[in-house]
Amino acid sequence: MARIRLDNVGFTYPGADAATLAPLSMDISHGEAFSLLGASGAGKTTLLNLLSGILQPTQGRIFLDDVDVTGLPGRDRNLSQVFQFPVLYQSMTVRENLAFPLTTRGSRRNRADIEARVNAVADELNIGGILKRSAKGISLFEKQLVAIGRALIRPDVSMVLLDEPLTAVEPSVKWRLRQTLKQAQQDLGVTMVYVTHDQTEALTFAERVAVLANGYILQTGTPDDVYQNPAHEFVGHFLGSPGMNFLPVADLPESLQQRVTGMGDPERLGFRPENAALGLPNTFDLPGVVHSQRILGTQRGEVISMYGLQCGAHSVFVRSSMPLAVGDPVTIDLKRWIGFRDAIRVGRRGAE
């Protein structure tokens, strides 16, 4: 495993008008499960390719365990990579695919050591029962487990890079694969960098998450921190389903303005649907009218719904067990909110 450090690393494709990846500095600890989260075009795969040596940075330096590897090709960085679609040797068995990294590049391991390592990784990923089968005869789920196992097979590997590894896997088995991968990462103590556009994957796998948009890292923190305390409006909007609600402070009732402006004089108020409660008109802070309802399920015998509310010119969402119908007037009681000083945007020029 390795500590990864990026020092003011940026990248611009030749002929491009703007940087694909704005200069950034980042530190990933030994044995950490780290995720790069963002929508398509955010720059996360470019950043992963810089780590793997596929691309060379336009500026800045990349360190592995305090060794400058900026100019080194991937084969000299002692890493392994798992891609979106599993790449296996179809003519080999699962066992042979797993052992392949140990039998190439002049490995001095004897057969017994290789066999022991293959069995250990196979047990960790729960694929011991398919070791004798041909790679072309197993399911896509099993193929991706084998690809992950092959990335983990070398005990001396410095880091494992995963580029959207669950995209091709059926939704019904994604949770299983993610939990298996997380457990293997913890047991083997390997440094993993996981690229995904799926917030559920990032927030449930990683110890820390970096949220990217248009080549900028907007926030890095624990899953709970980036979700509960977004440092940027884009982060608040991107995380959550639906994302954070935003309202201009100037459009809030006077009583609520007084509560909000005493906390840093923000221009916009952000709150999660689950961080508010609904009550009868004139009982709480923010008046609204129900315009939609989506039933989420039951909790302790109560039906939980996601209500869409019209609050003046603005639409917000609140999660509640209160029985309401479209057209009902309600008032929103804000339990927890975040104030944003400026209406921050993310455009092609980055964070403004």
Q: Where are the domains of the chain?
A: 4-234, 248-351
Q: How far apart are CA 101 and CA 73, in angstroms?
A: 17
Q: How far apart are CA 254 and CA 259, in angstroms?
A: 9
The answer to whether residues 138 and 127 touch, using CB atoms and an 8 Å cutoff, is no
Amino acid at 171: P
What is the arithmetic mean of pLDDT over 168-185? 79
What is the arithmetic mean of pLDDT over 291-318? 95
Band (352; pLDDT cuts 50, 70, 90) = very low
Domain 4-234, CATH: 3.40.50.300
Between β-strands 216-221 and 245-248, what pairing exists: parallel, antiparallel or unpaired? unpaired
What is the arithmetic mean of pLDDT over 120-134? 92
User: What is the CA angle 330-332-333, rounded to 5?
Assistant: 135
Band (348; pLDDT cuts 50, 70, 90) = very low
The answer to whether residues 312 and 240 touch, using CB atoms and an 8 Å cutoff, is no
pLDDT at 171: 76
CATH tag for 248-351 (out of 2.40.50.140, 2.60.40.1180, 1.20.810.10, 3.40.120.10):
2.40.50.140
What is the arithmetic mean of pLDDT over 253-281? 86
Can you name the residues that pair with 33 across neighbouring β-strands?
192
One fold for both 4-234 and 248-351? no
Question: What is the percentage of the chain residues whose pLDDT exceeds 70?
Answer: 94
**What phi, psi does 192 have (nearest 5°)?**
-125, 135
pLDDT at 284: 66
pLDDT tens digit sequence for 24-77: 999 999 999 999 999 998 999 999 999 999 999 999 999 999 999 999 998 889
User: Phi-psi bin for 146: left (phi > 0), alpha (psi -120 to 50), beta?
Assistant: alpha
The answer to whether residues 51 and 2 touch, using CB atoms and an 8 Å cutoff, is no
Between β-strands 314-320 and 302-311, what pairing exists: parallel, antiparallel or unpaired? antiparallel
Q: How far apart are CA 42 and CA 194, in angstroms?
A: 14
- List, as own/partner pairs, every contact residues 307-314 make where C-beta atoms lie below 8 angstroms and the sequence separation is at least 24, other chains included: 307/278, 311/247, 311/286, 311/287, 312/251, 313/251, 314/247, 314/248, 314/251
What is the arithmetic mean of pLDDT over 306-335? 95
- Is residue 242 reached through a cis peptide bond, with omega within 30 degrees of 0 on the bond before it? yes
Q: How far apart are CA 352 and CA 335, in angstroms?
A: 29
CA of 31: how far to CAs of 48, 160, 161, 233, in Å? 17, 10, 13, 31
Please identify which residue in the block is written with the tokens 């409006």: 233
pLDDT at 110: 82
**Closest-CA residue to 240 (of 249, 257, 227):** 227
What is the arithmetic mean of pLDDT over 190-194? 93
